[in-house]
Amino acid sequence: MKFEDALLPREKVFRDPVHNYIYVQHQIILDLINTKEMQRLRRVKQLGPSSFTFHGAEHSRFTHSLGVYEITRRICDIFLRNYPTKESGDGLWDDSERLVALCAALLHDIGHGAYSHTFEHIFHTNHEAITQEIITSPKTEVNKVLKKISPEFPKQVADVINHSYKNKQVVQMISSQCDADRMDYLLRDAYNTGASYGNFDLTRILRVMRPYSGGICFDVSGMHAVEDYIISRLQMYMQVYFHPVSRSMEVILTHLLKRAKELSDKMPINSSETPYLLMPFFNNNFDINDYLKLDDGVLNTYFIHWIDSKDSILSDLADRFINRRPFKSAEFTDDTEFLTTKLQKLIKQAGFDHKYYTDTNDCFDLPYDAYDPKKKSHATQIELRRPDGSMVELSKVSRLVAAVTGKQLGDERFFFPKEMLNSAQNIEIFQPIYEEFQKHIKNNQLIE
Amino acid sequence: MKFEDALLPREKVFRDPVHNYIYVQHQIILDLINTKEMQRLRRVKQLGPSSFTFHGAEHSRFTHSLGVYEITRRICDIFLRNYPTKESGDGLWDDSERLVALCAALLHDIGHGAYSHTFEHIFHTNHEAITQEIITSPKTEVNKVLKKISPEFPKQVADVINHSYKNKQVVQMISSQCDADRMDYLLRDAYNTGASYGNFDLTRILRVMRPYSGGICFDVSGMHAVEDYIISRLQMYMQVYFHPVSRSMEVILTHLLKRAKELSDKMPINSSETPYLLMPFFNNNFDINDYLKLDDGVLNTYFIHWIDSKDSILSDLADRFINRRPFKSAEFTDDTEFLTTKLQKLIKQAGFDHKYYTDTNDCFDLPYDAYDPKKKSHATQIELRRPDGSMVELSKVSRLVAAVTGKQLGDERFFFPKEMLNSAQNIEIFQPIYEEFQKHIKNNQLIE
Amino acid sequence: MKFEDALLPREKVFRDPVHNYIYVQHQIILDLINTKEMQRLRRVKQLGPSSFTFHGAEHSRFTHSLGVYEITRRICDIFLRNYPTKESGDGLWDDSERLVALCAALLHDIGHGAYSHTFEHIFHTNHEAITQEIITSPKTEVNKVLKKISPEFPKQVADVINHSYKNKQVVQMISSQCDADRMDYLLRDAYNTGASYGNFDLTRILRVMRPYSGGICFDVSGMHAVEDYIISRLQMYMQVYFHPVSRSMEVILTHLLKRAKELSDKMPINSSETPYLLMPFFNNNFDINDYLKLDDGVLNTYFIHWIDSKDSILSDLADRFINRRPFKSAEFTDDTEFLTTKLQKLIKQAGFDHKYYTDTNDCFDLPYDAYDPKKKSHATQIELRRPDGSMVELSKVSRLVAAVTGKQLGDERFFFPKEMLNSAQNIEIFQPIYEEFQKHIKNNQLIE
Amino acid sequence: MKFEDALLPREKVFRDPVHNYIYVQHQIILDLINTKEMQRLRRVKQLGPSSFTFHGAEHSRFTHSLGVYEITRRICDIFLRNYPTKESGDGLWDDSERLVALCAALLHDIGHGAYSHTFEHIFHTNHEAITQEIITSPKTEVNKVLKKISPEFPKQVADVINHSYKNKQVVQMISSQCDADRMDYLLRDAYNTGASYGNFDLTRILRVMRPYSGGICFDVSGMHAVEDYIISRLQMYMQVYFHPVSRSMEVILTHLLKRAKELSDKMPINSSETPYLLMPFFNNNFDINDYLKLDDGVLNTYFIHWIDSKDSILSDLADRFINRRPFKSAEFTDDTEFLTTKLQKLIKQAGFDHKYYTDTNDCFDLPYDAYDPKKKSHATQIELRRPDGSMVELSKVSRLVAAVTGKQLGDERFFFPKEMLNSAQNIEIFQPIYEEFQKHIKNNQLIE
């Protein structure tokens, strides 16, 4: 008997608040969950600084990864029951692809680190490259487990995640405009934040999903279910992921890490202030084992130390981050962008180092995109299948989706210390600076 | 205008997955939430090692504290609307007690630390004493905010939490057999674990709750709602809080901290292995500021370091904890307790230091108790009010509650390394030891 | 190809608020749903007069029947996946029993009529006998559909419902102390009334259910799930099914039908007042076609007519029923039962015909029962299976279940016109009668 | 004390599955609920023939009416707490309007009859006119209760419902593009059908709603909540309210009532076939009491009778309606409309009376509309309020809403007997007719 076929004598379940149960039926899936690389994801929050805005958003990348696995498993079950392949090339589902799909689903985020997006920006790491490495490097437990299937299996799993795998159905299950990854994070983030608008009808979407020669499409009868998913996704971006307070905390985090990096030459060695586990990154000389030691708690531990640092900027930014003291922000447009220079100057005059105390940040998302021969990179557009087998692209039949197709939604904001709005407790000499500053903020926007 | 009356111009809300919204109507509540002592609770998990069993249980003491505040606020609203006091001593609700009730609710867990129960056991700290200190010590931000109401206010809040406050209605809101604290944690833990049996009808319980001269009672018409709450609580204890795997992880954690403490004299100073923030506790010379620097992430950071320790026991236990490799366990009774000595011996023969690799642990809970003159300590029993004003104690009218009144429910378990059950991969010489060991485990229980 | 195997080319679904979707995979199930006998159940409310108390309880026996079908289908799926029979007599699941189980589940309530319990009482019909007849009589569409499987199939389906079918697993799926019927009605009634305490964890119960040679048992690991179900059931009985106002409306309905029957000789023929569809029942000369013409709306239509009747009692009772004017009630015990005679007399003195305006009604339920050799009739007790294959009866391990095992829970009440409590608007001469009456009602109970 | 102020000593509650509880605080509301006109709404389904498609949609107009009342009550509470009027004309909320708002909310549908839309079409009744009459006619119990407040009160309540009431805030609470009526029916229909896409965040919408001089507007910060509501509404129209099978059942009902009306001259008098309660409508000589005797069950009772009618068309259509045997349908456009004539002819050739066996039916809805000076009738557009007090119309800031503003969404369908698609069981001679017919149906659309 091949390990691949080694179904557990009886399936195991993990209680899950979003999917009720996660069903594990293969020994290899259980073994992967028990690797230290997967367990590390318990210590990395799925939404990073968003929990400063939505206090319930404390869930980890570990629970999300189990969720993506479970949705993928359900898709395989439905495909096997309703659309099993009869002969090669018929565009139907070949269930021998199940295991690579499940492993890729479970491992798709394995390379994510603590506060990934910010961390990558400062330290030039790349969570996608690290995901590939964790899966294919012989140094990891994940790799050892995967190789029990076959020597080539790790590479196949990695290929699914980097989109180069030959079976497009498997690739699109994990990564497309309506995939297991997005479906789980929308539902899970909605569940944990309490943002009910992120909900959509998962069971119904899975029912109308089907394999075809080009990958995965949807029955046209389920058009509204897909439409509803697109809208839910858009609402979550606008209301949760792009929330100004979360972005403000991320701005602070960026400046905090930047300051620390700049100071790192001067960091005392062998003292309580030394961020030992970060040193390989400060020194730009790290390997995968260094990376895998980091998690949210490790970074926070150093930030807690730094609150007592003698460097007043490092100390202040660490305090703002750990104790949740966000910057304020205002939206600006191309027409008002020029004001940011002026406001920076005022902030500097008020005594803040503008390099660390102001920033701009834009958040834009493409809620949905259809194929456009003029564009360079192409998302996989959503295809609907009519009863007679012909296909139609989603935005052709949904007025709502058409309205947002190819349109970037979001905003660009200017961040600054909250103090700039609270003149009262400041000394008199700064009063005119503050007043001038405040003249330019109205309805949470920059104005002339 | 007194600060106490300083209602926010418009109430603020926090989105909450359990209560939908948390409504904040007073400036002082907002200020308390923004203290660094409260923010620290974001970094302490509500259920500690339970998240190793129920992966969704990643919520913090911060979200729970907001929830207890919100339930208390709702109780005050209902009491004010339906049972406002007309004259002193009429046993009805005096809304000038609202603010002390709200603050006590919000702060009742403020002294909880990282992995509190285990930590206290090893380092002889006491989260209840620390809660009192955080509220009353002039060193904390919490104390500074509370003193804006009056110099005596911090003491009053602390008294509510330690049960000595004069108004018993306020005390029982926060702490009794059916209080805001328990109601929030049951609902929140059920929500996050996905354990639906922890749910009960909060709105209905709040509707039948009423103040009386002796504290808080319930309309007899709501007997079933209270009964349902008691049963839900019991189910959560049996199925979630007492889960053997969570207790196993706690056993490992205890032994890990114990080993570290024993080694602390030998811990190198000024090296990457030094647990700087723990040193005051190793040296038994800490103050409140030392305590407030600790959180789950800080402890985990040291554990991650210790995986690389040269001490093989410290390293192994740290690995088991961080990478979730729980001990196995079996239930025993008074009749089979004698077997634990024999099994310990076998474990030792198999090469494990039994001081660190075996343990017993009992978990018992008293689901409900009524007043009994023969007992030393008395819980506040639940009183039901009949239409004519007379009272009857809950277990007198509920057959279900009567069945569990005064009865300790739970079990006692023996913990041991999983390896003892997996003979296959062990060397031949140990085989008889393993076989002998396994003879004594059946249906997850110790047998002769 | 046998009809039995005629799976639908693609499964059909019905959107269901409780189970999300009802999955129909066989042509025969679709055909049964489309029979006029099944469609009639759309016009019969599941909970009868309970909707007068819980306004949301407007769901029909049709939706419940679909639900029982769906739960049975899921049990079959789980049994097939986890416990498929290998050889005859191994006590595992034989999936060739699936179709008889599904049909029995769908049809188990097919003989229920309008306000069944009351109607049967007055007209000596019997919904169980009618269920058997609908299934086995060649006059019905249901029978025609069933016979497409085989000539014996209708009888087999009927046997499952009357408990005489040879395969006890099939019988117990539909009818035992924890069966698909009860599980659906608890969940559905809870959903529609809004009574959240009726909820329990269906998925978990299904997971721990398993076939064995004696029928159906449960893994001991799922003891708490079963316990929770028993408690939920008990709560629904105490709080919803036995609600005094619903029973009061049922008392009125009983008296209304009784009065109509007594008057039926005098009913004018060929006039608007003639209850044509009821005449066969008044004349005690009906067949199955007469029975199948009745539904809630037909009875209500006659009641609406009768409000205009010249018989003042018929008219008044019809008005009280149609326009929801319930009697009041008070609980009594064996000790206070003697008072009912006295109170009846007072009601008569106040001008009400006590034959139609007072009644007693008891509601008792046996939440759970274990086998007792001394009892005549035996419910199927719930067996839990330990890891080593041995069985233990539920109340042996659950303290909560033990507390209610074999105990009848409920109460006995005396019903009377609301007017007896509202002295104010009555004429002076009756005042002493009313006062005397009211002296005997306290805390909703009869007292001396 | 005025009756108006007669708050109940303690509020009463009705358990509600959608809003958890309906809170009744005034005696007059309780009295209105207990009128026979309100109780009649229990016997009229909210969604009529939709329950033939979504079996769970069995809820009545009674439960919906309670829900609209409850939402209105919550709006009044929020307005009173956050925006109480200080002086006349300040555009804030005057709580003396509460009672008229609550009564109008409760009674807004009181004139709805059995299968209203179809019934009105055939018998030229008008539920809106009847609503006005029930409220203002001295013959009704509703009117008697309302007059206890003041002689003018019934007229005021009626005016709110017909939009002529002076206070536009009250009018818009009950009737505008985002009002208590629509919000309740969307949530309730979604709850009962199981169509989760109909859900939106009621609590959040109520939080951002506010009174202003022009009626009711929304904080711009809640733009996404309102947007989500608009989209949910659109989804419910497209997927539930416009479902082809429900419309098909409505087509059958229309033809059934039309046939009965045509036959009514020939209906035997004083026989079991006479639809006594419908006769006033057949004779076009009815008053409000005749109307109030009708409900779904009364009409169904006659349909059950008619199944046995000698008129084969009446009998067949009654059978199709009662036993749910819907017509099939296909969508057509302006371009393919001409085909309907041809298809009618084929249906006639196949032996069906095309007057009763085919029909076209269009369903279009305007999801949202903004003010347009060019249009004749104007809906109240949704205004959003910026922090500085200025207003902006919804479609100006929501790309999604803009996409559907002023656009009719829906389709036009051709209905025909299902038999036309099932050639197999028909006699040979019709075969070419059927084949010709089927050539014109593809992907559920008419084609040339």
Is A221 an 8 Å CB contact of chain C? Answer: no
Pairwise CA distance, residues A65 & A58, whole Å: 15
| Residue A126: C-alpha distances to residues A174, A361, B15, C40 (Å) | 19, 20, 33, 64
Comparing CA positions, the residue from B300, B298, B277 lying closest to residue A40 is: B300
Pick from C11, C21, C82: which is nearest to A10 by CB?
C82
Taking CA atoms, what residue in B is nearest to A51?
A: B42
Is C63 an 8 Å CB contact of chain D? Answer: yes
What is the sign of the dihedral through the CA atoms of A394, A398, A404 and A406?
A: positive
| Interchain pair D228, A234: CB under 8 A | no
- Give contacts of B193 with chain A, Cβ < 8 Å: 15, 17
- State ipTM: 0.94
Pairwise CA distance, residues A199 & A268, whole Å: 50
Q: Which residue(s) pair with C384 in the sheet?
A: C218, C392
Query: Which residues 166-185 of A have a C-beta within 8 angstroms of D?
Result: none
Residue range D248-326, CATH number: 1.20.1250.30
Phi, psi at residue A92, to the nearest 5°?
-95, -175
- Give contacts of D13 with chain B, Cβ < 8 Å: 207
Q: How far is C54 from chain B (nearest CA, A)?
A: 15
Pairwise CA distance, residues A185 & A108, whole Å: 13
Q: What does the pLDDT read at residue B431?
A: 83
Residues C165, C132: contact at Cβ < 8 Å? no
Is C30 an 8 Å CB contact of chain D? Answer: no
H or E stretch at D438: helix D431-439
- Grade residue B1 by pLDDT with cuts at 50, 70 and 90: very low
- Cβ partners under 8 Å of residue A447, min gap 6: A336, A440, A441
- Cβ partners under 8 Å of residue B120, min gap 6: B113, B126, B127
Is D409 an 8 Å CB contact of chain A? Answer: yes
Pairwise CA distance, residues A180 & A65, whole Å: 10
Helix (H), strand (E), coil (C) string for chain A: CCHHHCEEEEEEEEEECCCEEEEEEEHHHHHHHCCHHHHHHHHCECCHHHHHCCCCCCCEHHHHHHHHHHHHHHHHHHHHHHCECCCCCCCCECHHHHHHHHHHHHHCCCCCCCCHHHHHHHHCCCHHHHHHHHHHCCCCHHHHHHHCCCCCHHHHHHHHHCCCCCCHHHHHHHCCCCCHHHHHHHHHHHHHHCCHHHCCCHHHHHHHEEEECCEEEEEHHHHHHHHHHHHHHHHHHHHHHCCHHHHHHHHHHHHHHHHHHHHHHHCCCCCCCCCHHHHHHHCCCCCHHHHHCCCHHHHHHHHHHHCCCCCHHHHHHHHHHHCCCCCEEEEECCCCCCHHHHHHHHHHHCCCCHHHHCEEEEEEECCECCCCCCCCCCCCCCEEECCCCCEEEHHHHCHHHHHHECCCEEEEEEEECHHHHCHHHCCHHHHHHHHHHHHCEECCEECC
Q: What does the pLDDT read at residue A296?
A: 97
CB pairs < 8 Å spanning B and D? 12
Residues D127, D120: contact at Cβ < 8 Å? yes
Pick from A239, A409, A442: which is nearest to D388 by CB?
A442
**In chain C, what is the straight-line distance between the N-terminal and C-terminal CA atoms, in Å?**
74
Comparing CA positions, the residue from B129, B105, B115, B106 lying closest to residue B44 is: B115
Q: What does the pLDDT read at residue A1?
A: 44
Own/partner pairs, B77-80, CB within 8 angstroms, 24+ separation: B78/B206, B78/B207, B78/B209, B79/B169, B79/B209, B79/B210, B79/B211
Comparing CA positions, the residue from D409, D440, D436 lying closest to residue D423 is: D436
Chains with 3+ CB–CB pairs under 8 A to A are B, C, D
pLDDT tens, position by position, for chain A (448 residues)? 465 667 887 789 999 999 999 999 999 999 999 999 999 999 999 999 999 999 999 999 999 999 999 999 999 999 998 899 999 989 999 999 999 999 999 999 999 999 988 999 999 999 999 999 999 999 999 999 999 999 999 999 999 999 999 999 999 999 999 999 999 999 999 999 998 888 899 999 999 999 999 999 999 999 999 999 999 999 999 999 999 999 999 999 999 999 999 988 776 666 777 888 999 999 989 999 999 999 999 999 999 999 999 999 999 999 999 999 999 999 999 999 999 999 999 999 999 998 999 999 998 888 888 777 777 666 679 999 999 999 999 999 998 899 888 888 899 999 999 999 876 555 677 788 888 999 999 988 999 8
Pairwise CA distance, residues B444 & A69, whole Å: 30
**In chain D, what is the straight-line distance between the N-terminal and C-terminal CA atoms, in Å?**
74
| Residue A240: C-alpha distances to residues A65, A237, A324, C172, C215 (Å) | 20, 6, 17, 49, 51
Work out the percent of chain C whose per-residue pLDDT is above 90.
78
H or E stretch at C127: helix C127-136
Q: What does the pLDDT read at residue C166?
A: 96
Q: pLDDT tens, D250-280?
A: 999 999 999 999 988 776 666 777 888 999 9
| A8 Cα distance to chain centroid | 32
- Give contacts of D322 with chain C, Cβ < 8 Å: 36, 39
Is D13 an 8 Å CB contact of chain B? Answer: yes
Comparing CA positions, the residue from D384, D45, D391 lying closest to residue D229 is: D384
Pairwise CA distance, residues C10 & C27, whole Å: 11
| Residue C381: C-alpha distances to residues A133, C68, C78, C181, C391 (Å) | 57, 21, 22, 16, 12
Taking CA atoms, what residue in D is nearest to C64?
A: D56
Strand, helix or coil for residue C341: helix
B184, two tokens: 């929030």
- Give contacts of A386 with chain D, Cβ < 8 Å: 443
Query: Which residues 363-392 of D have a C-beta within 8 angstroms of A?
Result: 386-388
Taking CA atoms, what residue in A is nearest to D408?
A: A399
- pTM for this structure? 0.93
| B119 Cα distance to chain centroid | 13
Comparing CA positions, the residue from D235, D227, D251, D247 lying closest to residue D409 is: D235
Q: In what order do the strands lie in the sheet with B445-446?
A: B359-365, B409-416, B328-332, B445-446, B441-442
Pairwise CA distance, residues C37 & A137, whole Å: 66
Q: pLDDT tens, A371-414?
A: 777 776 666 799 999 999 999 999 999 988 998 888 888 999 99
Q: How far is C75 from chain A (nearest CA, A)?
A: 16
Is B439 an 8 Å CB contact of chain C? Answer: no
CB atoms within 10 A of CB B423: 16
Taking CA atoms, what residue in A is nearest to B300?
A: A297
| Interchain pair C10, A82: CB under 8 A | yes
Is A403 an 8 Å CB contact of chain D? Answer: yes
Q: How far is B32 from chain D (nearest CA, A)?
A: 24
Pairwise CA distance, residues B354 & B350, whole Å: 10
Residues A293, A19: contact at Cβ < 8 Å? no
Q: Does domain A3-241 have CATH number 1.10.3210.10?
A: yes
CB atoms within 10 A of CB D45: 20
Look at phi and psi of residue C194 and say left if phi exceeds 0, alpha if psi is from -120 to 50, else beta. left
Residues C173, C119: contact at Cβ < 8 Å? no
Whole-number average pLDDT of chain D = 92
| Interchain pair D36, C323: CB under 8 A | yes
Q: Which of A58, A61, A191 to mutate to test the interface with B (most CBs of B within 10 A)?
A: A58
- Give contacts of C21 with chain A, Cβ < 8 Å: 203, 207
* pLDDT > 50? residue C1: no
Angle between helices D61-82 and D180-193 (to 10 degrees): 130
Pick from C20, C82, C207: which is nearest to A203 by CB?
C20
D394, two tokens: 């919804």
Q: Which residue has the higher pLDDT, D297 or C198?
A: D297
User: Tell me, what amino acid is at C380?
Assistant: T
| D310 Cα distance to chain centroid | 34
Q: pLDDT tens, C146-177?
A: 999 999 999 999 999 999 999 999 999 999 99
Is D9 an 8 Å CB contact of chain B? Answer: no
Taking CA atoms, what residue in A is nearest to B39?
A: A323
Chains with 3+ CB–CB pairs under 8 A to C are A, B, D
> Region C45-58: what's the mean pLDDT?
96
Pick from B235, B388, B403: which is nearest to C228 by CB?
B235
C170, two tokens: 């099939």
| Interchain pair B82, D10: CB under 8 A | yes
Residues B102, B29: contact at Cβ < 8 Å? yes
Q: DSSP label at C266?
A: G
What is the sign of the dihedral through the CA atoms of B384, B386, B389 and B390?
A: negative
CB pairs < 8 Å spanning B and C? 65
Query: What burial class does residue C252 get, using C-beta atoms within 10 Å of its C-beta: 0-12 exposed, 13-18 middle, 19+ buried?
Result: buried
Question: What top-level class would CATH report for the domain C250-326?
Answer: mainly alpha
Work out the percent of chain B whose per-residue pLDDT is above 90.
78
Is C238 an 8 Å CB contact of chain B? Answer: yes
The domains of chain D are located at 3-241, 248-326, 369-408
| Residue B138: C-alpha distances to residues B132, B135, B142, B389 (Å) | 12, 8, 9, 45
Residue range A245-326, CATH number: 1.20.1250.30
Comparing CA positions, the residue from C235, C228, C236, C215 lying closest to residue C382 is: C215
A443, two tokens: 């309805």
**In chain B, what is the straight-line distance between the N-terminal and C-terminal CA atoms, in Å?**
74
Pairwise CA distance, residues B116 & B254, whole Å: 11
